[in-house]
Amino acid sequence: MIPGTVEFENFDEGAEGVAYHDIEAANDPARIDYRKTGVDLEITPDKKIILVGHIKEGEWLKYTVDVAKSGVYELELGVAVRGVDPPEIRLEFDGVDVSGPIQLTTTTQRWYLFTQILGPTVNLEGGSHVMRVVVVKSPKGTSLNLDYVRFVAKREPKKTAGSMLGAEEPEPTRALRGLKHSYFPFASVRDATGWKLRHAEIQRRVLVAAGLYPLPEKIPLNAVIHGRIEKEDYTVEKVTFKSLPGHFVTGNLYLPKQITGKIPAVICPHGHWPKGRFMKETDAE
């Protein structure tokens, strides 16, 4: 039932080409006898997750699902992806592509360590449907294992009394919900490929921690300089800009007066006084 969770191993009953398509007729020796099909099913070492593994480009699985109510749904996927080039899947309902390509970024260096990642939103009609999960891209050297896809009814953003200019408050990021199923072990990096994997993993964690995963749509900053303080070697500009719809950021921009070419910038997201920007300070102080 949608909203709800569809376990990838619980695809419809039926033969090859009807309920599923698996390129290799022979199953991997590590598979389990959860079901008598040609699909490679395995279980994690802790015996907690039954997964669809050894997935190749062009393979697919079918599911009969019931959508309780027409509307917009957010996708959350439990996956374990290992490799430099991200694989892609898509979701079809009654033969129609509803998701577009969903890129699954690297989540782990171990095939059995699953993470919940966020997919796009999809528009679904109420009633019974046939959902098909299609592997659009599975690059050589990339390992893709699938656990589940969860459909969450999209919540409408609420207006709050404190919203600036009466604008709608930005919807809280969904990315933090993914942390409850994440496990982040540390593994030493030994080669260039490992560094690429580590880079992608750290980048994703930083974005999630900052509430920016997936990255929001860029909007015009509409930056405004409200005042300027002149110092001997630098100036301080009092600025505001719009980071999200209805959300404004205030800050001080410290600029050296003697600038030659490009220079680096340092962002400090917090103040260094007990009351932050509410603390009054004169030039004399």
Any idea where the domains of the chain sit in the sequence?
4-209, 224-278
- Point out the least confidently predicted range of 25-29, 121-125, 209-213, 260-264: 25-29
**The predicted structure's pLDDT at residue 281:** 63
Which CA distances in Å does 184 have to 174, 179, 180, 202?
A: 19, 10, 11, 10
Residue percentage of the chain with pLDDT more than 90: 40
Determine the straight-line distance between the first and last CA of the chain, rounded to whole angstroms.
64
**The predicted structure's pLDDT at residue 181:** 45
Asked if pLDDT for residue 246 goes beyond 80, the answer is: yes
Across 157-187, b (16+ Cβ under 10 Å) vs e yields eeeeeeeeeebebeeebbbeebeeeeeeeee
Which CA distances in Å does 133 have to 110, 155, 176, 224, 236?
A: 23, 25, 25, 47, 54
Q: pLDDT for 191-243, tens place per residue? A: 787 787 778 778 877 888 777 777 778 889 999 999 999 999 999 999 999 98
Q: pLDDT for 66-111, tens place per residue? A: 999 999 999 999 998 888 788 999 999 999 999 999 988 777 767 7
Tell whether pTM > 0.85: no
Q: pLDDT for 103-136, tens place per residue? A: 887 777 677 788 888 888 999 999 999 999 999 9
Nearest to 135 by CA among 79, 173, 91, 183: 91
Whole-angstrom distance, CA of residue 216 vs CA of residue 250: 19
8 A C-beta contact, residue 109 and residue 139: no
| Homologous superfamily (CATH) for 4-209 | Galactose-binding domain-like (2.60.120.260)
Whole-angstrom distance, CA of residue 2 vs CA of residue 35: 24
**Using omega within 30 degrees of 0 as the cis cutoff, is the peptide bond preceding 256 cis?**
no
| Percent of residues in the chain assigned helix, strand, coil, to nearest 5 | 10, 35, 55
**The predicted structure's pLDDT at residue 98:** 96
Rg (CA), the chain: 24
SS3 278: helix
26, amino acid identity: A
